Amino acid sequence: MTKIVFFDIDGTLVTKRNTIPESAKKAIDQLKKNDVIPVIATGRAPILIEEIRQELGIESYIAMNGQLVMHEGEVIFHNPIQKETVDRLTEKAVERKNGIILCGAKDIFSNSIVSLAKRSSVWTVLKGLGKIIPGHLQLSLFKRLIRKPPNREEYEGKPIYQVILETSMDEEKHYSKEFPELHFARSNHYTVDIISEGISKAVGIQKFLEKLNLDQKDTYAFGDSPNDKEMLDYVNTGVAMGNGWDEIKKAADYVTAPVDQDGIAKGLKHFGLI
């Protein structure tokens, strides 16, 4: 009987300062020693998973809220958004002056400043600054960087799996009405992840279990925000972080401690997984 645990990243494996608690690292290592499979399930694009994945030694992941599923280097499932829809959404974001980022399987497409940063050591520096710069200043910098639209020449002809839109929760409602073919998955108060309708982390988990022929009753998941709800509902045991949104805590089977208070380790220990 193989057990499997799916972990969100931001607010779950990683703190607000973009660090993984030592207790979580040790817990993941012990999980693997106990022959329990750890899988990342995140809204992040693959390029923003690599450092964390390597640090934790996790080989498989569900990226971009279920749009791309990888098992030990093999693509299990991928579902790019239709080009016409991406173009319309980009045009609407420019019209409304909302920042926008397009996520591909191996790259992120934004304006020239962000594109330059992520292709050089500047990107590493920015991520490092995220550990010491207060959240509200990070947000201000982020908004200025993404306000201009991506350069069409950079992403033309390449599959786009997810769009990140800088917009309020109220304004998001207008977008969702205009784009019924899309699903809006929010992980914070400032931006929303946009993917294909009918896709979620839960769908990614389903594809993963089908590939490995694993039973749903042996599944666990840890999450903290609205884009984790489908995942927590789908697995046999859903665990919400103590720092999570209230609606996620209500949907979970169990609420563990906050991420920076050994929440991962305590949750895994509670269920006898480590």
Higher pLDDT, 95 or 223: 223
- Same domain for 58 and 120? no
For residue 156, give the CATH number of its domain. 3.30.1240.10
Catalytic: which of 8, 10, 224, 228?
Answer: 8
Single-letter residue type at 130 = G
Higher pLDDT, 190 or 233: 233
- Same domain for 184 and 101? yes
Last residue of a domain, one of 178, 196, 214: 196
Q: Considering only 22-36, 68-82, 134-148, which range has the smallest mean pLDDT? A: 134-148
d(C-alpha 150, C-alpha 87), whole Å: 11
- Same domain for 174 and 110? yes
Last residue of a domain, one of 196, 216, 247: 196
Residue 58's pLDDT band, with cuts at 50, 70 and 90, is: very high
**Is residue 192 predicted with pLDDT exceeding 50?**
yes
For the chain, the domain total comes to 2
Q: Does the annotation count 8 as an active-site position? A: yes
- Same domain for 75 and 91? no
Higher pLDDT, 46 or 126: 46
Higher pLDDT, 193 or 141: 193
Higher pLDDT, 162 or 107: 162
HEC profile of the chain: CCCEEEECCECCCECCCCCCCHHHHHHHHHHHHCCCEEEEECCCCHHHCHHHHHHHCCCCEEEHHHCEEEECCEEEEECCECHHHHHHHHHHHHHHCCCEEEECCCCEECCHHHHHHHCCHHHHHHHHHCCCCCHHHHHHHHHHHHCCCCCHHHHCCCCECEEEEECCHHHHHHHHHHCCCEEEEECCCCEEEEEECCCCHHHHHHHHHHHHCCCHHHEEEEECCHHHHHHHHHCCEEEECCCCCHHHHHHCCEECCCHHHCHHHHHHHHCCCC
**Is residue 197 predicted with pLDDT exceeding 60?**
yes
- Same domain for 73 and 135? no
- Same domain for 65 and 147? no
For residue 56, give the CATH number of its domain. 3.40.50.1000
d(C-alpha 15, C-alpha 182), whole Å: 29
pLDDT for 187: 80
Residue 145's pLDDT band, with cuts at 50, 70 and 90, is: low
d(C-alpha 104, C-alpha 159), whole Å: 6
Q: How far is CA 183 from the centre of its chain?
A: 14
**Is residue 38 predicted with pLDDT exceeding 50?**
yes
- Same domain for 75 and 205? yes
pLDDT for 154: 82
**Is residue 264 predicted with pLDDT exceeding 80?**
yes
Q: Compute the average pLDDT of residues 116-120.
A: 40
Of 230, 63, 39, 94, whose CA–CA distance to 159 is shortest?
Answer: 63
pLDDT digits (tens, 9 = 90+) for 148-182: 667 788 888 899 999 988 888 899 999 999 999 99
- Same domain for 53 and 108? no
- Same domain for 149 and 99? yes
**Is residue 249 predicted with pLDDT exceeding 80?**
yes
Of all residues in the chain, what percent carry a pLDDT higher than 70?
A: 86
Q: Compute the average pLDDT of residues 29-42.
A: 97
- Same domain for 94 and 158? yes
d(C-alpha 129, C-alpha 18), whole Å: 10
d(C-alpha 252, C-alpha 183), whole Å: 22
**What domain range is 25 assigned to?**
4-79+199-270
pLDDT for 153: 80
Residue 221's pLDDT band, with cuts at 50, 70 and 90, is: very high
